Structure 1
Amino acid sequence: MFGISGYELFIIVVALGAAGALTGLLAGVFGVGGGAVIVPVLYEFFRVLGVPDEVRMPLCIGTSLAIIAPTSVRSFRAHQKKGAVDMSILKLWAVPVVIGVIMGGFVARYAPETLFKTVFVVVASISAIKLLGARESWKLGSDIPGNFVMRIYGWLIGVLSSLMGIGGGQLSSLFMTFYGRPIHQAVATSSGLGPLIAVPGAISYIFAGWGKAAAWPDVVLLQWPYALGYVSLLGMVLLFPVSMLTAPWGARLAHALPKRRLEVAFGLFLLAIALRFLWSMIGS
């Protein structure tokens, strides 16, 4: 199957199942959709199976958005039950976030692979520095800004999330903590962006990659029934079920952790992701 042995396929299935479990857990703990885990895992998965560089990164991102759509819904519901979600922020962000996601999907049709990796490295590094530094003086303001500025931020979160294949958790969490909101509230509120980003984002990537199957006829993973545009149906089948099971566990763990421990864990997680993609850019 796909030019690999049965043993290699077994290892891939087990690895992606484990990644799915970790994805769901992180979605709950950090209020993210898990895309920052899914994208690097799928990148290696598709590399082993011979997906060309030109289409590998957008295929990872489109698949990630499709996977985190249901996972983020479950994570959001778990956090909402804790009463920590700021619905007023989500209402302000809803429309501009979706517009930004659709624009990001359009860019994905023409963008080089290095653009996706650069966005990953820059955003994850800034987030990690802020969280690991943990200085109260590192703020843009003492409270959330006005509606116009909030909508601009929402649009930017949508664009960047679409180019990273994430549910917007680290971006919105970074924003909220810069404006003095507690990390637990930032994480909980951020989980609500997942469905707003993942659903239109996945649809955008399907259309962005719609003609790629014909352009790359020798790449099996781009062909039906293994993919729809830049969304890998194989990746979805292998990662999605396990991630759905573990998302509520992560949400419970997040509310049990002290504030500083959650900040350090989130910061180290994002720093590891940034270094991983920076290394791939240097080595390419």
Structure 2
Amino acid sequence: MLVNTKDMLIAGQKGKYAVAAFNVYNLETAQAAVRVAEKENHPVIIALGERYFDTVDVEGFAALVRVLAEKASVPVSLHLDHAYEKQSIIRAIRCGFTSVMFDGSKFDLEENMRLTKEITEIAHMAGVSVEAEIGSVARGAFSDEEEGDGTLTDPQSAKTFVEETGVDFLAASIGTVHGMYTGEPNINLDLLDEIRELVGIPLVLHGASGTPDEIIKQTIAKGICKINVNTEVSLAATSYLQKAFEQDQNKAAHLSVIMASMQEAMEPVMTKFVRLLFAAKA
């Protein structure tokens, strides 16, 4: 069933668990995410980034995910990830996304609040929930996200931001990175505590790939309800493809077989995260 992401996260907040938001790029990644969610009996968020709009037909993809969701035995939501342009957000709303993220983290606080409030008003009129970000998640290895400066979220600014904009969930920067870490992870859990004390809405963690399991569990215990996963899933797929072509250099492997096997290669990674995020359920 297709549901609003806000409802999904409020349930997670009450149950003290988090929902995985898997970044997808094609049919196979979407199918893998829904299949794993059904096997684990846990909700899932299908997230498509604005940066993929040039290679993915958004309207067609939304229709595809809606059908997958309608057939699914667990709640599924469709989320627009890291959108910077208002027109992209309007396009996603029109074709059925149940939540959108406006990323105004490159602006100062006042401008970020002004733009986010405008987006929130538009989305809420359509019954669509909104994620926003203050602070900036740095870019690690193997990531194709925008470069962030790693600025951590200021708790008082987060409180003001939520009050002024009316957003439904907030991405907090506490030291994780987009992609894989190039050194030891330095996650500021005390900062997360401070943000949680001042902000009542569900909190989001970007940058789960490579983050130690124990740290992820602690972030959930401290109020994280949505965790974005991208790079580890991507690496599982590309590693499979590389090995497949190396082993079959002299064979004409059919594309349908390769894509089906690639989907299977992603599923164990997704399963690991779904189980990890649900393990903290009270």
Give the TM-score category using the shorter length: under 0.3
Q: TM-score, normalised by structure 2?
A: 0.27
- Relative to its length, the structure with more strand (as a share) is 2
- Relative to its length, the structure with more helix (as a share) is 1
Q: TM-score, normalised by structure 1?
A: 0.27
Instruction: Name the structure, 1 or 2, with higher relative contact order (CA <8 Å, separation 6+).
Output: 1
